[in-house]
Amino acid sequence: MITKLFLSAGVEVSVSFIKRILLVVLLGLNIPNGFAALTIEITEGVESAVPLAIVPFASSSAPVNISSIVNADLARSGYFKLMSEQSMPSRPVVASDINFKEWGGLGQNYMVVGQVVDAGNGQYGVQFQLFDVYKNSQLLGYRMGSSAADLRRTAHHISDMIFEKLTGKKGVFSGRIAYITTNNQGNKQQSHQLQVADADGFNPQTVASSVEPLMSPAWSPDGKKLAYVSFERKSAAIYVQTLATGERNRVAEFPGINGAPSWSPDGTRLALTLSKDGSPDIFVLNLASRAVTKLTKSFAIDTEPSWSPDGSSIVFTSDRGGKPQIYIVPAQGGEEKRLTFSGSYNARASFSPDGRSLVMVHGTGNDYRIAVMDMGNRSINVLTSGPSDESPSFAPNGAMILYASKKGRTGFLSAVSLDGKMQQKLVFNSGEVREPSWAP
């Protein structure tokens, strides 16, 4: 039986929904120094994975193994079956070195060769070529410069180009993710961190740290800022922080709940949940004037707003029908319409970049899974196996969904393709993470 709580105005809700609204139920984590190394496991790939060989790039002094990073990126996607270095018959660097018949005989559809040249003063020249082995033809070929500090980013950019050329979908390897970690410090004291890392988990940086809870990170459309909730002043407040400078501004600290910030597509407004007038409702905050406009007026709990890509409407979670379900309202205010009717629990919805799909947490009883709704016919496709999946976030290319999951008391991140065929588990070597958000 699910325990019930009663809020003001006689609103009855489940404890599970309260946890998701207030977002103050924190996982006990154990992450030394607030950081955790991340490895990514492919738990399920597409059956038609394409054979691909990333030949080690020729390099005499580069501090970063670019070809190894490209290999890991493309293998992690689940779309390719990467040839092991030990199985390679040779180490070609340019087209004239390649015996295409030999590589084709080993079942390779495509191959990549390249080299990294030390240009001096900490600068490097990077070049690569992508070939169709059976057609003996070049599909891509680029030369680019990079500083030593940017070699990993250059490698991810190469991965993006190869992925898009071979799949027709934009790559997301050069993107970033934000997430929350919590470190147990002893004496029941905890330290909470908002961190940003590369999409492959490398280069984690702490954006904010507090002994009080941090939650709900949301990227600005240009990827330069994060909005988030902090309890550092002993009550909920929403902050906006510029990543490059660390400058942060407290933009909402009304009495009661200040939560679930979501950026408008033009970056000028935040949709958020406020309870300053009584029960939690959806408001829109103008970041320039700090003026707030109330969109919903319900005695129920309205929360977790998220904008449509064109900025015309906002989806949100409400229990006004007795159970948490997804509703939609015009961004300028107006009639509120219910979108979900399948399942006893639908929450935390957000649009795909093209606006054609809506990802959400879909639950029945105590079983919570990630599901996608087709906005055309309103059909719902459940993508994950649960039972404790939450906080879904679309990748910028719309092909993958990042989400938080839990097994026992262990929390971790996972990713699933939009069709559910490819699954990844993002494993931190120590500790746990929650509330992931993929940068635009």
Could you tell me the pLDDT band of residue 127, with boundaries at 50, 70 and 90? very high
Could you tell me the pLDDT band of residue 118, with boundaries at 50, 70 and 90? very high
Identify the pLDDT of residue 297.
Answer: 92
pLDDT tens for each residue of 353-380: 999 999 999 998 889 999 999 999 999 9
Identify the pLDDT of residue 47.
Answer: 59
* Higher pLDDT among residues 124 and 26, named by residue: 124
Lowest model confidence (mean pLDDT) among 12-26, 129-143, 300-314, 319-333: 12-26
Assess whether pLDDT exceeds 70 at residue 86: yes
What's the mean per-residue pLDDT of the chain?
88
pLDDT tens for each residue of 142-191: 999 999 999 999 999 999 999 999 999 999 999 999 999 887 777 777 88
Identify the pLDDT of residue 137.
Answer: 97
3-state secondary structure the chain: CCCEEECHHHCEEEHHHHHHHHCCCCCCCCCHHHCCCEEEEEEECCCCCEEEEECCCEECCCCCCHHHHHHHHHHHHCCEEECCHHHCCCCCCCHHHCCHHHHHHCCCCEEEEEEEEEEECCEEEEEEEEEECCCCEEEEEEEEEEEHHHHHHHHHHHHHHHHHHHHCCCCCCCCEEEEEEEEEEECCEEEEEEEEEECCCCCCEEEEEECCCEEEEEECCCCCEEEEEECCCCCCEEEEEECCCCCEEEEECCCCCEEEEEECCCCCEEEEEECCCCCCEEEEEECCCCCEEECCCCCCCEEEEEECCCCCEEEEEECCCCCCEEEEEECCCCCCEECCCCCCEEEEEEECCCCCEEEEEEEECCEEEEEEEECCCCCEEECCCCCECEEEEECCCCCEEEEEEEECCEEEEEEEECCCCCEEEEEECCCCCEEEEECC
Assess whether pLDDT exceeds 70 at residue 2: no
pLDDT tens for each residue of 4-57: 332 333 333 444 444 444 432 222 222 223 334 455 555 555 557 899 999 999
- What average pLDDT does this structure show over 45-72? 90
Could you tell me the pLDDT band of residue 412, with boundaries at 50, 70 and 90? confident
Could you tell me the pLDDT band of residue 136, with boundaries at 50, 70 and 90? very high
Identify the pLDDT of residue 185.
Answer: 73
Identify the pLDDT of residue 419.
Answer: 86
pLDDT tens for each residue of 178-227: 999 887 777 777 889 999 999 888 889 999 999 999 999 999 999 999 99
Assess whether pLDDT exceeds 80 at residue 428: no
Which domains, ranges and CATH numbers included, belong to the chain? 4-30+175-438 (2.120.10.30), 46-167 (3.40.50.10070)
Identify the pLDDT of residue 36.
Answer: 40
Identify the pLDDT of residue 420.
Answer: 87
Identify the pLDDT of residue 41.
Answer: 54
Identify the pLDDT of residue 6.
Answer: 28
- What average pLDDT does this structure show over 231-257? 97
- What average pLDDT does this structure show over 84-97? 96
